[in-house]
Structure 1
């Protein structure tokens, strides 16, 4: 396995960031230097690197997995719902151009409760001419990110596969020790290293959370009838069953929430029985469905860090928070973290300030906390409300969805919900608004 290392010598100039070097005490003997050190090469971490690199901010990404491994079919079979606002971030970071032909637009969203004839229908034309978002296979997203990193090789250094073994953070800067013994100096370290974050643990930041005793079973279906850009969320007693339209019209990603105790049973079903289970849940609107080889499952829960920052440290995405996929907002919240952090870092550097200073990081934390806590509360409430078969609750759910869908006085609420789904509500970073950093 080879290491993808596009590092430059420690005495190479950092374009546009003169005067923002780590303190001499930390930089002495460092093998690599950059303004920003990103620990974690997942979708959020690499998106942040691309956004900062596009703005000319030197950064180093430390990625535990090799790029070639991450593109293998069995590495990660998941897909991601990219809201319209998140798509704007990918475009502004130069990533979107590498996704051509790989994204399936969501033009309609239909939400229904079991076999009820009452449902909630979102039509993108009610709020404009843009789709609600797009469905992208994670492997295609990674390929696009790697291509963009190659274009930014003069500004962004991608170290992979590589692990972090130690870290020093103080008023003067950050010094990160790598598994191969090299040391990396910077002004700010970003924890984008997921639910089991080394960076969060290093800072002693506690997190609260709980398990839903559910798993998500993920697979892809091929089907006879074109999906027409329609995404469906079907609420069943065990949890939501989501059908997400992939590019091309005849493939749909399935995110099937099931009770954890039943996951092994479904994951080990012979292919004909698994196909029958899927057909029964999907119904006949797509015609005959055939599973594409490959099934994956992940445990579902809620997690939230007590704070998103520490001395010269900022947490983004799943290092800071994790939520149920019931509303398809997990990575979108992380991308908004990325857009907000990139903005406060770039703004600080442009006016000659230290991007790792406490007041800069506090601005990031204040900006992101309300949005995140609101969505955590919303997804938790929806999960508990819909993951059951209690008759009075089911009746109330169905009436509520029908009322929002059809009653004229509730149409402003419906349009607000659609804009939430697009990720364009609240105090939006420049990248989300389609503006350059």
Structure 2
């Protein structure tokens, strides 16, 4: 057997918003971890790399605290105190029937926190640097991964070889690692594009997030630190291209027609980003010595802001399964061990993915009878306290069989 340049218990392909938390969790459980990422961390930490923010549910926030990430996010976490869900049309305003989630109904914790993705990456990088059991190799791409009876061995673009007992694919929706392993996916394109930009506004947002459903797709207004909000503006792809091509003044006018004036004067600032929207689900999550997590396993519509949280739930479950197996002296890369992870996460991911798909289809149209039914539905749920609180707990990630990390406990 050729000698590897790096030997560890676990190899993670992809050092992003799921790969790095997984490395921290496994290391806290006493395992050695090598993370390979094709991107230069200096680039991914730059403000121009990714304009998105992520809603980190309160269960995921507990995990970040336990993993030593939160201390590096001081001043960058905007609490989500309320969420208002409404339906409407451009320039006509919102329906009088709406759904209001108030965090005080289910406890003292906010419903979650809004954090710019780049600040989360910076904080994860600092936490990784403090963890001696994790080796991060970046930038360097994985050329291939070979699997045998006892190991997964990655060959990198520069010829470096990394050997481990188990490989996790955390390399995003395209996931070359998943594709090379022959794991197929199912899914479809929505014919929609998400436009992302930041808005400065006159009045304080008080930590209120808005999910405003328009005929072409949802228009989310997500509170950021200071008098700023992140827009996740969904349009049919042809319309999105036309909007993105507008000059600054016309783009601002289109934005204000949807944003309204409830926060006073507002204006878009900084770059505009766009992302095609689709659904993608892996048919399997595991093979001998290989497991998929986060976007490599499931890519969902951003309608409910649950994409990253689903990935972080994968992280918490995968870490618990692998660490428990290691403590029992089991082979952490065996299918017997990995089957527990797949059973734990696949149903939840598929169910929530299809729920978000259904919501997008229900609200992204302008049919009169459907509009009436969904408005009445929003108003009805708003009046039923137990149902409303159940939805909040689901969004917070505290329903079901929770891994220890999501309870704020050690892995």
Distance of 2:246 and 2:25 partners within structure 1? 43
Q: Does 1:396 align with 2:396?
A: no
Q: How does 1:98-113 map to 2 (within 5 A)?
A: 98-113=72-87
Match of 2:212 among 192, 211, 234: 234
SS in 2 for 1:118: strand
Cα distance, 1:203 vs. partner? 1.2
Written as runs of structure 1 = structure 2, the 5 A alignment for 1:284-299 is 284-299=261-276
CA contact (8 A) 1:279 1:288 kept: no
Distance 1:129 1:99 in 2: 20
How far the C-alpha of 1:238 sits from its partner, in A, is 0.4
Distance 2:351 2:62 in 1: 22
Aligned to 2:13: 39
CA distance in 2, matches of 1:143, 1:137: 10
User: What does residue range 264-279 of structure 1 map to in structure 2 within 5 Å?
Assistant: 264-279=241-256
Q: Assess if the C-alpha contact under 8 Å between 1:50 and 1:95 holds in 2.
A: no
The DSSP-based 3-state class of the residue aligned with 1:225 is: coil
Aligned position for 2:355: 378
Deviations 1:100-130 (A, max 9, x none): 1101110000000012111000100111111
> Which 4+ residue blocks in structure 1 deviate beyond 6 angstroms?
none
Matched, 1:48 2:6: no
TM-score by length of 1: 0.92
Match of 1:172 among 150, 172, 175: 150
Q: Deviations over 1:242-289 (max 9, x none)?
A: 0011122x0101000010011221112111111111111111111111
Q: Is the 8 A contact 1:190 1:313 kept in 2?
A: yes
Residues in 2 aligned to 1:54 and 1:273: alpha-carbon distance in whole angstroms:
51
For 2:189, the equivalent position in structure 1 comes to: 211
Pair 1:368 & 2:345 matched: yes
Q: How many residues align?
A: 406
Deviation (angstroms), 1:54? 2.5
Question: Hey, what's the Cα distance between the residues in 1 that align with 2:299 and 2:181?
Answer: 18
Listed as ranges, the matches of 1:223-262 within 5 Å are 223-248=201-226, 250-262=227-239
d(CA) in 2 for partners of 1:166, 1:396: 51
Residue 426 of structure 1 deviates from its aligned partner by 0.6
| Alpha-carbon distance in 2 for matches of 1:125, 1:200 | 42
The CA distance in 1 between the partners of 2:347 and 2:152, in whole Å, is 28
Counterpart secondary structure, 1:195: coil
2:312 counterpart of 1:335: yes
For the pair 1:186 / 2:164, whether they are aligned, the reply is yes
Q: Write the distance in 1 (CA, Å) between the matches of 2:76 and 2:224.
A: 8
Q: Deviations over 1:17-62 (max 9, x none)?
A: xxxxxxxx4xx41110000000011111111112122222110000
> The residue matched to 2:96 in structure 1 has which SS?
coil
CA distance, structure 2, for counterparts of residue 214 and residue 42 of structure 1: 25
| Root-mean-square deviation over aligned CA pairs | 0.9
The answer as to whether partners of 1:133 and 1:422 remain within 8 angstroms in 2 is yes
SS in 2 for 1:404: helix
Of 87, 92, 110, which aligns to 1:131? 110
Equivalents in 1 of 2:386, 2:47: separation in Å? Answer: 43
Work out whether 1:145 is the aligned partner of 2:145.
no
TM-aligned CA deviation for residue 319 of structure 1:
0.3
Q: Which residue of 1 aligns with 2:410?
A: 436
CA contact (8 A) 1:86 1:335 kept: yes
Distance 1:356 1:217 in 2: 40
Q: 2:302 aligns with which of 288, 304, 325?
A: 325
- 1:132-165 CA-partner distances (Å, limit 9, x unpaired): 101000110010011011101x210000001011
> In the alignment, which residue of structure 2 is the partner of 1:19?
none
Structure showing the higher strand proportion among its residues: 2
Q: Distance in 2 between matches of 1:276 and 1:379?
A: 29
1:9 — aligned with what? Answer: none
Would the aligned equivalents of 1:214 and 1:300 in 2 still touch at CA under 8 Å?
Answer: yes
- Note the alpha carbon deviations across 1:277-315, whole angstroms, 9 max, x for none: 111111111111111111000000100000100010000
